[in-house]
Amino acid sequence: MIEEIDMELQTPDILKLSWLENGIKITSFDDQAMLIVYCPELHRTDVFSGGVKCSDAQCTFKFNPKMAGKRLKIYDQFIKQEKIGNSRYLGSI
């Protein structure tokens, strides 16, 4: 199971997420990570999906530069084959 997710802005439009697995086998090593970035001020959403596995333990995401410097709400979701899990609100940056 994925837990302890940390967020860090590396540049104004690049977000890095890192996480730990607690050893409970709810997730599989090949489950895919999905990241949702929402900007309330602009009413825009940017989504990153595919290419990052749970076992990678981190990802970086270059989001829409129009959202840089704005308050953003961050959500994650993990996808297991054709099944999509519930999204989780991670917080705002």
Spell out the domain ranges in the chain.
Answer: 2-88
- Report the pLDDT value the prediction gives residue 6, as an integer from 0 to 100: 87
Q: Is pLDDT larger for residue 80 or for residue 76?
A: 76
Single pTM value for the model: 0.76
pLDDT digit string, tens, across residues 18-68 = 887 665 555 555 677 788 899 999 999 999 877 777 777 888 889 999 999
C-alpha–C-alpha distance, residues 38 and 4, integer Å: 21
- Report the pLDDT value the prediction gives residue 14, as an integer from 0 to 100: 94
**In this model, does residue 12 exceed pLDDT 70?**
yes
Confidence of residue 11 (pLDDT cuts 50, 70, 90): very high
Contact yes or no for 35/15 (Cβ under 8 A): yes
The residue count of the chain comes to 93
Report in angstroms the alpha-carbon separations of 44 from 5, 12, 64: 23, 16, 9
- Report the pLDDT value the prediction gives residue 23, as an integer from 0 to 100: 59
- Report the pLDDT value the prediction gives residue 90, as an integer from 0 to 100: 85
- Report the pLDDT value the prediction gives residue 17, as an integer from 0 to 100: 87
Contact yes or no for 90/34 (Cβ under 8 A): no
C-alpha–C-alpha distance, residues 74 and 92, integer Å: 6
- One of 1.20.1560.10, 2.60.40.10, 2.60.40.1220, 3.50.50.60 is the CATH number of 2-88, namely 2.60.40.10
C-alpha–C-alpha distance, residues 33 and 78, integer Å: 5
